[in-house]
Amino acid sequence: LQTRMQSLQPDPKAQYRSVYEALKKIVLTEGFWRPLRGINVTMLGAGPAHAMYFACYEKMKKSLSDTIQHGGNSHLANGIAGSVATLLHDAVMNPAEVVKQRMQMFNSPYKSVLACIRTVQRTEGFGAFYRSYTTQLTMNVPFQAIHFITYEFMQEQINPRREYNPRSHIVSGAIAGAVAAAATTPLDVCKTLLNTQENMALSSVNISGHLSGMVNAFKTVYQLGGIAGYFRGVQARVIYQMPSTAIAWSVYEFFKYFLTKHKLEKRT
């Protein structure tokens, strides 16, 4: 839904006024499973990407907090640790995101994930999978910095003793995801344009070939939609991120608690 709603010059048959209308229209005209196209490639990359992401975050957060605030909770340390963890995470997830978004576009010519990978590789080269990597990092570094700082801040407010408390992890994760998602929507719109290379949108502003680079993407979005163009799909993005970050944090905190408890029991 987010990819479709961020389309800057959509086909008349793929113009949606709201998230609900978009979902209803896609299901009725393109089938029940259409909104989930390309999700298998995302799931394939998500496991190793998140493993590296949380492992790097925990290690760096601890090291930097010891240095900056002598073992206390440092918001600066949380932000830096989250930003560095993003470099590893996005190296795995960026190609998966390119494939997923291309498969979710209206009238997508790709029949399967493998067909999409082969076609993009043959026609645009390997670089196409990383064309939006710098944009992704430019978006995700501030997103993850805001996300981690907000999560740790919320934990300080509602779970100051830092005990395993599923409700506090879900609430903190959802709020952190919503705040970070809303703040970084303009960057996400630019990323979607770079990933999908919408022909109708690019030709209307006399761009031939492939659009590349954050600055060019920002200029093009402004030419096509003005200031409002930067916030296309903000509602869908926030709705998507809230359960996503809530689930990620609650699952992560559960396994962290379970493994730590198991380790302590083994020691005693």
Tell me the per-residue pLDDT of 49-76, one tens digit each, with 9 for 90 and over: 888 888 999 999 989 988 888 767 788 9
Report whether pLDDT(238) > 80. yes
pLDDT in tens, 75-97: 899 999 999 999 989 888 888 88
Phi, psi of 116 (to 5 degrees): -65, -45
Amino acid at 64: L
Quote the pLDDT of residue 6. 56
What is the rounded average pLDDT of the residues 158-173?
94
Q: pLDDT value at position 254?
A: 94
Return mean pLDDT, the chain: 81
What confidence tier does 28 reach under pLDDT thresholds 50, 70, 90?
low
Determine the Cα–Cα distance for residues 130 and 236; give it in Å rounded to an integer: 24
pLDDT above 90 for 107: no
Q: What pLDDT was estimated at residue 33?
A: 47
pLDDT band of residue 153 (cuts 50, 70, 90) is very high
Digit-coded pLDDT (tens) for 94-106: 888 888 878 776 6
Residue 10 · residue 106 · CB < 8 Å: yes
- Single out the residue of 185, 169, 167 nearest to residue 221, CA to CA: 185
The pLDDT of residue 221 = 87
Tell me the whole-structure pTM to 2 decimals.
0.65
Mean pLDDT along residues 146-160: 94
